Structure 1
Amino acid sequence: MPEAAPRPEPVPPERVPSSRDAYRVALVVPRQGPAGMFGPSCRAAAHLAAEEVDTAGGVAGRPVHLVEVDAGAAPAEVARTVGALVDRGEVDAVAGWHLSSVRQALAPAVAGRVPYVYATAYEGGEVGDGVVCTGELPGEQVVSALRFLRREFGWRRWLVVGDDYVWPRATAHQAARVLRTAGVDLTAPLWVPLGSTDERVWERVVAELDRQADPRGGSAVPDGVLMLLVGSDGVRFNRAFHRAGLDARLVRFSPFMDETMLLGGGPETSRGLFASAGWFAGLTSAAALEFSAGFARHYERLVGVGGLAVPSPGTMAESTYLGLRWLADVGRRAVPGPREVDAARSAWSWDTPHGTVRLDGGRAHHRVHLAAATGAEFEVLGDVTADSTAG
């Protein structure tokens, strides 16, 4: 009979310093679920931001202490965890990259008691007290990119495939309404349960796309697929898309794609795949190169690579970084509370690795780039920011 394995020693709870000792931020990033693949990169970027803030003197003189919360749990569970930290006075702010479904549960739990920086590209419309959204909006990411692709390549008909929750549905609705006047059509949306691991689900989606793209069907033949899929869902879709040979007939565009997803899908799945975001690792400005070097150092320290190359920092990582840097920027002179954050989101600008980001009336305005996938990397094709307001 084999010897029983020893029982693991209990892990003592993390000691959270007092507010006199540190500026304590609940770092809410996913470590499981369809977005869990972004967690290691988001954590590395957050720790880089904290290090840089501390080197510059901290938040109103206090060093940053990150209290990590898994945003990959059910939204209600995340809200309970963070709400309890706020109730006990153990955090001074909440920040991180996570899905809109988590934000919708979390904002009421925080209830304007501490600042909440939502550092994710999202659908827009968040007006909660003390909540600042620093990510890109559909007009900048989807509308600008599809206008550019129509002008440069003539692609105007797009089938929509998205996860069935608030961000994909609201983004598709808003983009379709605006793009209609630019002669770009978003049609026949297919909604998939978030986190679908059954490969048959993706095979059925691809089969339906194949049917709609058949020129013998009598309707206008689409040019491509607008992907509104998160993390591992996008990876599974790209694999099924490639297996069916649809990448020879349809291009794909995603405003929620980074290098982590390209690695997950494999280089063979990147044919005809485009993405838009403020940040791509292929940017070569001094600020971008400095961020990439710092990210690599912290990724090795936090995650370890076991002899493998450190992955490129994706847009989810850079978004996490710039959200924390914004919070520290507001707190240069005094510890920022919800009132100071509400005032700053009306008009503020700060430097990021992909350029200056400006907050105006609660809306973050980014310089947005369009990129084409080449293997496991993105090649930046150009700045499409002007197309977000083009007629």
Structure 2
Amino acid sequence: MSPFDGNPENIFEIINIVPQQGPGGIFGPSCEAAISLALEEINSGTGILGRELRVTHIDGGREPAVVAAEVAALLATGMVHAVTGWHTSAVRRAVEQVTAGRVPYLFATDHEGLTARSAPAGLFMIGADPKHQILPALDWLRRSFDARRWAIIGNDYVWPRRTAQAVRAELADPSLIPLEVFVPMDTRDFRGFLDDPRLDLADGVIVLLVGADVARFNVQFTRTGRSAQQVRVSPAVDENVLLAAGEGANHNLFVPSGFFVNGPRDRERLERYHRLHGGFAPSLTNFSNTSYEAIHTLRGMAELAGSLEVGRIQAAIADCPVIETPWGELGFEGRQAIRPTWLARAGGIDFEILDGI
């Protein structure tokens, strides 16, 4: 029997936004399954502040305004206590306008960075920003492979464009980025980028595409024969992307992330995941893991603040920017979570962890 009595007064309801269609739809099942593990772990104990945690998933693969309108309608019921999700920054920018100051909103995706002016009340970033992820990965590749000149291919929305801007600022030499192209979501044909003669000037490609777009690009890139000479680096790749592209499309592909299932501290989490869902569950990946960690981070915030009220959580994090989680202490810089990052190389449809960056 559940330790909770089902009384609405004893329930915290969370809205989780994850793509169920479009290029990011390949991540939806694994994100939802990972969140189920977090719910099992939390609710098998004392819940959050003694209350049962429940999650409702909504489709984050739709137009940002449509997603935000649904969130607003759910918030209007007065029965939603927090919002989490793995989705694009374009969706986030729409949703944060309706959650601002009302409920905590934990954005569990890599992002372009958060400043005081771009931080609506209650928004917390659980993923990584360029300073803690793609930039140290580029430095490692420069030192290890002398990769200095980069072409950039990304989807045309805020995260790829702002990440590319951070790369340009870090390299500080326009000649080191001979080619930069942004394409619509759900692009099927990348010949315009792959046939551009400026691509020959690059030592590697920074891939800032999403989901199925990354997989399609990797297949087409490999068919050109470039994968033997040019490295690729992308923070937007997990095991789902590797599997969708196929083993042969992932040679010389490097991925920075705070989590890999074969990491020395992460195997136990994978074992718990399979005990709950069985051996044929969607893959637990670096992306679905951030969804899992967002739920536990919310619990840690609530325990620290003694509440899920936005003002009290923000004040608590400001006073004590470290919270306890099942995997250890999680630090914050402002309202952005900071964790160690690893660089891995794709080996077929798995990852080989190379180094901490």
Change (3 A) 1:242 1:106: same
Change (3 A) 1:355 1:207: farther
1:77 matched to 2:66: yes
- Secondary structure of the residue aligned to 2:321 is strand
- Amino acid paired to 1:26: I
1:226 matched to 2:212: no
Q: Matched residues, percent identical?
A: 36
Change (3 A) 1:157 1:363: same
Q: CA deviation at 1:256?
A: 1.4
1:179 matched to 2:179: no
Report the Cα distance in structure 1 between the residues aligned to 2:170 and 2:199, rounded to whole angstroms: 24
1:190 to 163, 175, 181: 181
Report the Cα distance in structure 2 between the residues aligned to 1:62 and 1:32, rounded to whole angstroms: 32
TM-score when normalising by structure 2: 0.92
Report the Cα distance in structure 2 between the residues aligned to 1:316 and 1:354, rounded to whole angstroms: 16
Q: CA deviation at 1:27?
A: 1.1
Report the Cα distance in structure 1 between the residues aligned to 2:289 and 2:175, rounded to whole angstroms: 30
Count of matched residue pairs: 347
Q: CA deviation at 1:351?
A: 5.5
Q: CA deviation at 1:89?
A: 1.0
Change (3 A) 1:112 1:159: same
Q: How well do the aligned residues superpose, as a CA RMSD in angstroms? A: 2.0
Report the Cα distance in structure 1 between the residues aligned to 2:331 and 2:175, rounded to whole angstroms: 28
1:275 matched to 2:255: yes
Is 313-322 or 290-299 further displaced after alignment? 290-299
Is 171-180 or 368-377 further displaced after alignment? 171-180
Contact 2:209–2:236, Cα closer than 8 Å, also in 1: yes
- Amino acid paired to 1:194: M
1:340 matched to 2:312: yes
Change (3 A) 1:162 1:345: farther
1:156 matched to 2:145: no
1:139 to 131, 146, 162: 131
Contact 1:357–1:367, Cα closer than 8 Å, also in 2: no
Residues 20-72 of structure 1: per-residue CA shift (max 9 Å, x gap): 03110001111111111110111011111111111231111011111111111
Change (3 A) 1:62 1:352: closer
TM-score when normalising by structure 1: 0.84
- 1:358 maps to what in 2? 331
1:375 to 341, 348, 351: 348
- 1:13 maps to what in 2? none
- Secondary structure of the residue aligned to 1:331 is helix
- Secondary structure of the residue aligned to 1:372 is strand
Q: CA deviation at 1:354?
A: 7.0
1:66 matched to 2:55: yes
1:205 matched to 2:193: yes
- 2:290 maps to what in 1? 319
- Amino acid paired to 2:308: P
Structure of greater Rg = 1
- Secondary structure of the residue aligned to 1:255 is coil
- Amino acid paired to 2:296: R
